[in-house]
Amino acid sequence: IKGEFNSDGIDGFIIIDIDKNDKLKEIAVHTPGPSDDDEYLVYWYDGNKIFLMEYFGGWPEFQGNGMVYLDQWQGFWARRDKYVLDKEKRKMKFIEQFAYYVGAKVTVKNSFTIYKETNLKDEVALLKKGSEVEILICDCIKREYFDYKYLIKSESGLLGWSGIDAILENTEGLIMAD
C-alpha cells in the first residue's frame, strides 16, 4: 500500500476501532507532519485487501461509535470537524458546519469597526480602544485562511463581523502559533 503525506517521515502506526459495534479494526499510520500538525492515513482490511478510509491532517479523536472529531490549529484557535463512518462504503463522511466556535477574548489596542454581515459593508459598531471583546465564531467554509470572517461580541454586547487582518492589527492577547 502506498499513501501520500504532506511531509516526510512516517514514525509509526496505531490500531484503532472507529466503530466498536462492527467486527473490524482500522490502522492509522502517523507522521508528525509539517509544523507539528499531525497527519494520519487510516486504512481498513477486509481479510484480503487493504483500503484507504481517510486522510486526517490534525489531531483526531477516535470515538469508537463511528465518529471521529478532528482538531486543526488555525493560528489562534482550534477548528473542530466531525466525520461519520459510512458503513457501506467504509469511508469517513465529513459533516459540514455553518461556522466554528473560537471563544478567544482579546483587548482592543486600536479602535476598529465590526459589521452586520460577512461582506463587511454595514457598520454595527466601532470597538473602543482598551475594551475587551470576544471572538465567538469563525466563518471559514469555502474560504482561504486570510479571508476567514469572525463574529465578535463587543464589551457592550453588540455582535458584528470582522476580517482576520483587522483583528491581528487592532487587538492584543491572541496566542498565535503556526
For 112-163, write each residue's pLDDT tens digit. Answer: 999 999 999 999 999 999 999 999 999 998 888 889 999 999 999 999 999 9
Contact 160, 178 (CB under 8 A): no
Taking the C-alpha atoms of residue 150 and residue 134, their distance in angstroms, rounded to an integer, is: 10
Please name the residue that has the C-alpha cell 476598529. 112
Predicted TM-score (pTM) of the model is 0.84
pLDDT at 1 over 70: no
The pLDDT, as a whole number, for residue 178 is 62
pLDDT greater than 70 at residue 2: no
* Residues contacting residue 39 through CB under 8 Å, at least 6 positions apart: 5, 6, 7, 30, 31, 32, 33, 55, 56, 57
Contacts of 128 (CB under 8 A, 6+ apart): 108, 111, 155
Measured from the Cβ of residue 130, the count of other Cβ atoms closer than 10 Å reads 10
What is the C-alpha to C-alpha distance for residues 135 and 150, in angstroms, rounded to an integer?
Answer: 7
Give the mean pLDDT of 84-108.
Answer: 96
Q: Where are the beta strands (DSSP E) in the chain?
A: 12-16, 26-31, 39-45, 50-57, 59-62, 67-73, 78-86, 91-95, 100-108, 112-115, 123-127, 132-139, 149-153, 159-163, 171-172
Question: Residue 167 — φ and ψ, nearest 5°?
Answer: -65, -50
For residue 3, the model assigns a pLDDT of 63
